[in-house]
Amino acid sequence: QVQLQESGPGLVKPSETLSLSCTVSGGSISDSYWCWIRQPPGKSLEWIGYIFSSGSTNYNPSLESRVTMSVDTSKNQFSLNLNSLTAADTAVYYCARYFRRSPFYYFDFWGHGVLVTVSS
Amino acid sequence: DIQMTQSPSSVSASVGDRVTITCRASQRINKYVAWYQQRPGRAPKPLIYATSSLQSGVPSRFSGSGSGTDFTLTISSLHPEDFATYFCLQADSFPLTFGGGTKVEIK
């Protein structure tokens, strides 16, 4: 059973950069797509982007100018950097596996989530 | 972007009731629609993928259907543990987008 665990700061200042990591256990990070998804308090979910284990990425255009994702296969980890933070970036951030084998496309395994608050 | 309009935003129901939740896509999409259940303070849990395929371990009272622009999640008989918020996801094209959510509350 694949398990994911997010790690990173719970409080970040406006204009700074958020850095989160997701550690995958119970399976290899190779040959899979890995995503970041966020959920502002009381609101719905927003897909931030994915990174394939080879390093190729696809970002949501709404965040693309501020997002960078990376992967470290030796550590079974992938990461998210989101810069120029504002209060609107306050949310629970989830990492998830994007199962992508036709005709099945969906997020099948999720981390528990980490609440990130942007405040001075 | 494909918008997923989910309705209703909330529903009050009793144990044993049948509940239907709908997502309408802003354009015709293939069957790459999934449904998730989220309890307070927890990550979303997959229920249905590819419109109608039941995720392993999910009870058979959950079912999905639909095509074109209209997709539905049905809970045939509500159990106490089903009171939660439900989201749809379209994975037909990028950016992937979710519906606004439906909160199923106890009447």
Q: What is the DSSP string of A34-68?
A: EEEEEE-TTS--EEEEEEETTS-EEE-TTTGGGEE
Q: State mean pLDDT over A48-69.
A: 97
Q: Is A46 a residue whose pLDDT tops 90?
A: yes
**Residue B34 pLDDT:** 98
Percent of chain A topping pLDDT 90: 97
pLDDT digits (tens, 9 = 90+) for A17-42: 999 999 999 999 999 999 999 999 99
pLDDT band at A102 (very low <50, low <70, confident <90, very high): confident
pLDDT digits (tens, 9 = 90+) for B21-46: 999 999 999 999 999 999 999 999 99
Q: Which amino acid is at B65?
A: S
The residues near B33 (Cβ < 8 Å, ≥ 6 apart) are B23, B25, B48, B50, B51, B64, B66, B71, B88, B89, B90, B91, B92
Query: How many whole angstroms separate alpha carbon B47 and alpha carbon B45?
Result: 6
Q: State mean pLDDT over A53-62.
A: 97
Q: State mean pLDDT over A97-118.
A: 95
CB B75 within 8 A of CB B61: yes
For residue B81, give the 3-state DSSP assignment. helix
Peptide bond into B80 cis (omega under 30): no
The residues near A68 (Cβ < 8 Å, ≥ 6 apart) are A80, A81
**Residue A43 pLDDT:** 97
**Residue B9 pLDDT:** 98
**Residue B105 pLDDT:** 96
Using CB atoms and an 8 Å cut-off, which of residues 56-85 of chain B contact chain A?
none
**Residue A69 pLDDT:** 98
A106/B34 Cβ within 8 A? yes
The residue among B50, B42, B41, B39 whose CA lies nearest residue B88 is: B50
How, if at all, do strands A77-82 and B85-90 pair?
A: unpaired
pLDDT band at B107 (very low <50, low <70, confident <90, very high): confident
Does residue A108 belong to the interface with chain B, where contact is any CB pair within 8 Å?
Answer: yes
**Residue B84 pLDDT:** 97
Question: In whole numbers, what is the pLDDT of chain B averaged over residues?
Answer: 97
- Interface-testing mutation among A52, A105, A110, A114, with chain B (most B C-beta atoms within 10 A): A105
Q: State mean pLDDT over B81-89.
A: 97
Nearest by CB: A104 against B44, B49, B96: B49
**Residue A103 pLDDT:** 83
- Kindly list the residues from chain B whose CB atom is less than 8 angstroms away from the CB atom of residue A22: none
